[in-house]
């Protein structure tokens, strides 16, 4: 199996002007789970080399896999400007370390670098891969815009929320799977199964994230618990609570939502309401449904070491604590 971290490290950013390329180097060197390129490579393995993870015939997939990772990091760079986030992966964000303009321009260049990597996809596969990549990128921007829109809306349906997280999170995982499989020679039915797998684990991942923000163990979760509650973020937890709450519970929830001091109290009180309403169980049921949908897709693929790894991954996501 290709070492994706080494492949990312081997990208050359020692170019002029330094003001443009240094922030790109900084961003890509800050780690992260590399989940998107890894998925693209495993998707490829499901259909080649008899599914052997140790196989090496995935070189054709590498440029697209790297393009997905560079693209993902571009979105983080611009998102951090828009969210005024100061820290990412334990280090100052680009706009904090440099300035907004640097984050905008180096971010733009990162998006272009993703397309540069993409241009190394085998020529006969390029038209479809470029089309899908563009669809994916569009989905991310649309999802980001919906996320912004939701902040200012009083009523957001669970359906709208699911559509938003599908665009913002899942579509990238889904396309990573399909692109990896397609370049490696997957047939159309296999491509679709890979795509759907990515879509459903993405949804499961995001819902688990919403749950962990409330019920996670601060020691293992890695970020403060209750962050979504404090900023009244319209997560699946809050939307489910609003949908199932009695008028009294709803009034109590809304009262806490306009409370901007007493942070610890607010987190404890809203968590109590969630617990009383069984919000956790409802969200876990939806997450488990998504995980189950993802697992079902794997039955349509060759059964081998790579599919097994995807099976484990889906199960790990559903039970993760961080």
Say if residue 17 is preceded by a cis peptide, omega within 30 of 0.
yes
d(CA 243, CA 299): 35
Q: From the list 131, 223, 276, 296, which residue makes contact with a second copy (rule: CB under 8 A)?
A: 131
User: CA angle at residue 79 from 66 to 224, to 5 degrees?
Assistant: 100
Whichever of 123 and 264 has its CB closer to a second copy, that residue is 123
Smallest distance from a second copy to CB 123, Å: 5
Smallest distance from a second copy to CB 93, Å: 14
Q: From the list 38, 42, 45, 146, which residue makes contact with a second copy (rule: CB under 8 A)?
A: 146
Smallest distance from a second copy to CB 305, Å: 33
Whichever of 138 and 275 has its CB closer to a second copy, that residue is 138
Structure tokens at 47: 């259909």
Number of residues in contact with a second copy, rule: CB under 8 A? 37
The residue with tokens 């979504």 is 228
Kindly identify the residues of this chain, within the stretch 69-108, that bind a second copy according to CB under 8 A: 78, 81-82, 100-101, 104-105, 107-108
Q: How far is CA 72 from CA 36, 50, 54, 84, 304, in A?
A: 8, 29, 26, 18, 29
Smallest distance from a second copy to CB 118, Å: 8
Smallest distance from a second copy to CB 15, Å: 8
Smallest distance from a second copy to CB 17, Å: 4
Structure tokens at 76: 């983080």
Kindly identify the residues of this chain, within the stretch 28-67, that bind a second copy according to CB under 8 A: none
d(CA 137, CA 36): 13
Whichever of 123 and 258 has its CB closer to a second copy, that residue is 123
- Site for a second copy contains 134 (CB under 8 A): yes
Q: Exposed/middle/buried for 85, CB within 10 Å: 0-12, 13-18, 19+?
A: middle
- Site for a second copy contains 144 (CB under 8 A): yes
Whichever of 76 and 253 has its CB closer to a second copy, that residue is 76
Whichever of 108 and 252 has its CB closer to a second copy, that residue is 108
Smallest distance from a second copy to CB 273, Å: 30
Burial 224-251 (b: 16+ CB within 10 A, else e): ebbebbbebebbbbbbbbbeebeeeeee
| DSSP state for residue 217 in the 8-state scheme | -
CB atoms near residue 7 (< 10 Å): 17
Smallest distance from a second copy to CB 62, Å: 17
- Site for a second copy contains 25 (CB under 8 A): no
State the alpha helices, DSSP H only, in 235-278.
Answer: 236-244, 247-257, 263-277
| DSSP state for residue 304 in the 8-state scheme | S
Torsion, Cα 98 103 104 110, to 10 degrees, reads: 140
Positions in the binding site for a second copy (CB under 8 A): 16-17, 19-20, 78, 81-82, 100-101, 104-105, 107-109, 111-113, 115-116, 118-119, 123, 126-127, 130-131, 133-134, 137-138, 141-142, 144-146, 148-149
């Amino acid at each position: 199996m290709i070492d994706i971290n080494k492949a990312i490290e081997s990208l050359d950013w020692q170019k002029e002007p330094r003001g443009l390329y240094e922030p790109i180097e900084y961003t890509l060197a800050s780690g992260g789970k590399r989940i998107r390129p890894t998925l693209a490579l495993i998707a490829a393995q499901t259909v080649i080399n008899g599914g052997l993870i140790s196989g090496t015939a995935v070189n054709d997939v590498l440029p697209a896999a790297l393009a997905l990772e560079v693209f993902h990091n571009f979105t983080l760079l611009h998102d951090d400007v828009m969210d005024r986030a100061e820290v990412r992966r334990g280090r100052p964000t680009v706009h904090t370390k440099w300035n907004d303009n640097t984050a905008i321009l180096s971010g733009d260049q990162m998006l272009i670098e993703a397309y540069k990597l993409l241009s190394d996809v085998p020529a006969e596969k390029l038209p479809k891969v470029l089309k899908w990549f563009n669809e994916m990128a569009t989905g991310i921007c649309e999802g980001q815009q919906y996320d912004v829109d939701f902040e200012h809306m009083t009523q957001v349906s669970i359906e709208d929320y699911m559509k938003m997280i599908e665009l913002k999170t899942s579509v990238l995982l889904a396309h990573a799977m399909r692109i990896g499989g397609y370049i490696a020679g997957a047939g159309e039915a296999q491509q679709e199964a890979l795509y759907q797998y990515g879509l459903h684990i993405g949804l499961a991942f995001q819902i688990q994230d919403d749950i962990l923000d409330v019920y996670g163990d601060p020691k293992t979760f890695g970020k403060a618990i209750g962050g979504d509650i404090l900023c009244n973020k319209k997560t699946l937890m809050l939307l489910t609570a609003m949908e199932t709450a009695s008028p009294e519970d709803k009034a109590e929830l809304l009262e806490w939502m306009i409370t901007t001091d007493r942070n610890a109290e607010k987190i404890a009180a809203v968590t109590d309401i969630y617990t009383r309403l069984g919000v956790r169980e409802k969200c876990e049921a939806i997450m488990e449904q998504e995980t189950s949908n993802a697992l079902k897709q794997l039955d349509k693929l060759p059964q081998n070491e790579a599919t097994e790894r995807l099976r484990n991954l889906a199960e790990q996501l559903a039970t993760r604590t961080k």
